[in-house]
Amino acid sequence: MAAVTLTVNGKAHRVDVDPDCPLLYVLRDTLELNNPRFGCGLGQCGACTVLVENRAVRSCSLPVSRVTGANAKNVITIEGLAANGRPHPVQQAFIDEQAFQCGYCLNGWVLTAKALLDTNPKPSDAEVRRACESLVCRCGSHTRIFSAVQRAVTAKNTAVKA
């Protein structure tokens, strides 16, 4: 165990953890952030996705030491996406599209979409699918999810013009 500083959603936390502990369990158990979810623990589904330096990463397979100490990085979870009390535009697009069924998988889709749109503001349908191929939605909400991503693309590009 070692006391380290972990920065999540812009807030620094002092945590005493096993450096090998996957980030997921620190977020859930120590910081009581519920939204990174345990799906497989194997990096195969994306339910545990968080953003690290604006890249979508699997927190179930990332030792906490990779984002603390000398490797300190800001970790963003769904809880930290909203700004000034307003949903992030990508979240809003998923809400407007009523995109999910059970929703347990949604961290992966929402955060992967956010990271994608930040680097590629106008992805094609094929690019969206490629970015999402490593994610699982067991309920099968894919068609609404893809519509939500395209809705977010439209909103982003409209906002830029305005």
Partner 1 sequence: MNPRKGGVSRREFVAGGLVVGFSMLDGELVPRLFAQASTSAAPSPKRLESWLHILPDGSVQVFTGKLEIGMGVDTALTQIVAEELDLSPSRVKFVFGDTSTTVDQGGVGGSTSVSQGSRPLRNVAAAARAALLQRASQRLGVPVEQLQVKDGVISAGTKRITYGEIATALAAEQDLKVTGAGFALNVDGGAKPKDPAGYTVVGTSVPRIDMAPKILGTYKYVTDVRVPGMLHGRVIRPAGVGASVVSVDDSAARSIAGYVKTVVDKDFVGVVCENEWAAVKAARAVKVTWSAPLRAFPEQKDLYSYMRAAKPKATRQIPKTGDVDAALATAAKTIDARYDVPFQSHATMGPGCGVADVKPDGVTTVWSGGQKPHALQKGYAQLLGVPADRVRVVWMQDAGSYGRPGFEDAGADAVLLSKAVGRPVRVQWMRHDMTAWGAKGPACVYDLAGAIDAQGNVTGVRFVSRAFSGGAILFLPDAAGNYLGAQLTGIKNTTGVDEFADWGGAAPNYRFQNLDASSHVLAEFHDVASPLRSTHLRDPEGPATSFAVESFIDELAAAAGVDPLALRLKHIEEPRAKYALQAAADKYGWDTRVSPKPKTADHLVTGRGIALGVRNGTYVGTIAEVEVNRASGVVKVTRLVCSHDCGLIVNPDALKSTIAANLIQSLGRTTKEEVMFDRSTVTSVDWNSYKVARASDVPAVVDIVLINRKELPPGGAGEPSSRATAAAIANAVFDATGVRIRQIPLSPEKVKAALA
Q: What are the angstrom distances between the C-alpha of 103 and each of 23, 98, 108?
A: 21, 10, 10
Count the neighbouring beta carbons within 10 Å of the beta carbon of residue 106: 23
Q: Which stretch binds partner 1 (CB under 8 A): 23-31, 50-58, 115-123, 154-162?
A: 23-31
Q: Which stretch binds partner 1 (CB under 8 A): 30-38, 51-59, 67-75, 153-161?
A: 30-38
The reply on whether position 155 binds partner 1 by CB under 8 A is: no
The reply on whether position 44 binds partner 1 by CB under 8 A is: yes
Give the nearest distance from C-beta 128 to partner 1 in angstroms. Answer: 8
The reply on whether position 94 binds partner 1 by CB under 8 A is: yes
Residue recorded with tokens 């990271």: 115
The reply on whether position 5 binds partner 1 by CB under 8 A is: no
| Residues facing residue 76 across a β-bridge | 51
The reply on whether position 21 binds partner 1 by CB under 8 A is: yes
Q: How would you class 104 by CB atoms within 10 Å of its CB: exposed for 0-12, middle for 13-18, buried for 19 or more? A: middle
**DSSP 8-state secondary structure symbol assigned to residue 95:** H
The reply on whether position 65 binds partner 1 by CB under 8 A is: no
Of these, 55, 119, 129, 154, which contacts partner 1 (CB under 8 A)?
Answer: 129
Positive or negative CA dihedral for 77, 20, 25, 32? negative
Q: How far apart are CA 83 and CA 103, in angstroms?
A: 22
Question: Which amino acid is located at 85 in the chain?
Answer: G
Binding site for partner 1 (CB under 8 A): 1, 18, 21-22, 25, 28-29, 32, 34-35, 37-42, 44-45, 47, 77-79, 81-82, 87, 91, 94-95, 98-106, 110, 125, 128-130, 132-133, 135-144, 146
